[in-house]
Amino acid sequence: MSAGEFELINHYFKPAPDALNPASVLLGIGDDAALIQPDAGQALVVAADTLVSGVHFLADAPAAEVAQRALRVNLSDMAAMGAEPRWFTLALTLPKTWSDETRREWVADFSRGLKDCADGYACSLIGGDTTSGPLSISIQMLGQVPAVKALRRDGAGLDDFVLVTHTLGDSAAALATLDEDSLNVAEAALDETDRAYLQSRYYRPEPRISEGVLLRDIASSAQDISDGLLADLGHLCEASDVAAEIDIAELPLSLTLQKFDVGQAQRWALTGGDDYELVFTVPEQNMPQLAMAQAQGRIQATVIGRIVSGAGVHCELDGAPFSVDTTGYRHF
């Protein structure tokens, strides 16, 4: 007997009868659509991402890690808007060539990773779809935010500081460790702890939800870094009709990334993508508030430049222009 759509949904994704169901979910998995009730005075925030095998994750990647990555990249979109994630839907495309046993094993591992991540970020799976075709995962995430406080890309102003959360470039380095033919990573003298750290940064990027909520009252604009700092900061500048000047020497690099050639590490930090950190702008008058939050351990962020008039993102190193061959990941 083949594992049909409804059997897969009911067995692996539908909550158990005794599972707690958030009061906001009026009708969840099992009908044609879900019914949800946002909190009073909140605007709905909706985002969606598709991950395709061989493009966004390795074909032989562990299913549980694929699930973690798929949900976390959508959670990052919530963080970029200063929103709190609440609900999500899942569209799962499974290869027709898989045997029933392979399908069951993969979905069992995938659903376990998905539930672990969803529970950790207090968001509920409320519906979706399954079909056959090239292996891919599409998630639509829904969250909420006070409408007047939503972070947007189009609010950056002249002389605002440009900042990023935590460190950049780790995810690109992780991919290099998975494909050592593309780079002699042995020269970086990585140990198993370093490799585990990089793999975690790739498969389990940390959505900066609490930081996004904090930045509602501090930042003038924000964007998550999925396609690379240069590309995503460029999107922010375009939306705000401004330019940015950044100092390459100020890019925050992890201790593991610092084991690589400095030029390579900086290129990864600029264009590697998949870090899912936040790049945001802060007016000078709000910097003391941000500094206080940093001192309290509520956010980790680094100033990398300023907003200026003009267009695009301009890099410099040691006071001289710094040119980059590519700006980041291109979807098409």
Annotated binding residue 160: no
Cα–Cα distance, 53 to 102 (Å, whole number): 16
Residue 166 is assigned to a ligand binding site: no
Phi, psi of 318 (to 5 degrees): 55, 35
First-residue to last-residue Cα distance in the chain? 39
Q: Is 318 annotated as a binding residue?
A: no
Residues 153 and 223: beta-carbon distance below 8 Å: yes
- Residue 257 corresponds to which tokens in the numbers above? 């990334």
Residue 224 marked as a ligand binder: yes
**Residues 6 or more apart from 130 whose CB is under 8 A from it?**
5, 8, 9, 91, 92, 93, 94
241 assigned binding-site residue: no
Taking the C-alpha atoms of residue 174 and residue 196, their distance in angstroms, rounded to an integer, is: 9
128 is in an annotated binding site: yes
Burial of 270 (0-12, 13-18, 19+ CB in 10 A): buried
| CA–CA separation, 171 and 153 (whole Å) | 23
Cα three-residue angle 165-277-76, rounded to 5 degrees: 130
Question: Is 60 assigned a ligand-binding role in the annotation?
Answer: no
129 is in an annotated binding site: yes
Residue carrying the six token digits 């061959």: 325
Is 226 marked within a binding site? yes
What is the torsional sign of CA 278, 191, 196, 49? positive
Residue the block writes with tokens 């470039």: 169
* Chain-centre distance for alpha carbon 320: 32
Cα gap 134→50, rounded to integer Å? 12
Nearest to 158 by CA among 225, 80, 237, 250: 237
Q: Is 77 annotated as a binding residue?
A: yes
170 is in an annotated binding site: no
Binding residues for substrate: 56, 274, 329
Binding residues: 32, 49, 56, 77, 128-129, 153, 224, 226-227, 274, 329
Binding residues for ATP: 128-129, 153, 226
Binding residues for Mg(2+): 32, 49, 77, 129, 224, 227
